[in-house]
């Protein structure tokens, strides 16, 4: 039985997208691969796609388009959205959002 809590093919795409980004590190968080910039998490792999930290207006737009707010069984986590994509190839179309998440979180860290 597969015990992974994410889709390996999607992780491979995320790794390729983030491979050239200086300062990005990866570690497991709650059993999921998670990505950090300057020590702060900006993305994590999920069973159905990738969760990203983004400005709240962007999260609201994505939820209106059919993506899910990140939730751990309770109310949604502010500023987080799960991009639910059916396959790894379509995750490449989310590259601008992934890059936006890196920049957004990096600017939050810089602002203190």
Rounded to an integer, what distance in angstroms lies between the CA atom of residue 101 and that of residue 69?
A: 15
Rounded to an integer, what distance in angstroms lies between the CA atom of residue 93 and that of residue 82?
A: 14
Helix or strand (DSSP H, E) at 17: helix 8-18
Q: What's the average pLDDT block by block, 10 residues per block, for the chain (112 residues)? A: 75 94 93 94 93 97 95 90 90 95 93 77
End-to-end CA distance of the chain: 44
pLDDT of residue 104: 97
pTM across the whole model: 0.91
Q: Which CATH architecture has domain 8-111?
A: 2-Layer Sandwich (3.30)
pLDDT of residue 1: 35
User: What residue segments make up the domains of the chain, in order of their start?
Assistant: 8-111
């Amino acid at each position: 039985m597969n015990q992974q809590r994410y889709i390996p093919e999607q992780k491979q795409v995320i790794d390729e997208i983030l491979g050239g980004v200086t300062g990005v590190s990866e570690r497991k968080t709650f059993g999921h691969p998670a990505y950090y910039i300057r020590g702060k998490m900006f993305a994590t792999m999920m069973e159905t796609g990738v969760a990203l930290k983004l400005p709240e207006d962007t999260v609201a737009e994505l939820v209106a388009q059919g993506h899910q707010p990140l939730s751990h069984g309770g109310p949604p986590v502010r500023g987080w959205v799960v991009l639910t994509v059916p396959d790894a190839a379509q995750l490449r179309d989310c590259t601008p959002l992934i890059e936006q998440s890196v920049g957004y979180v990096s600017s939050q860290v810089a602002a203190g």
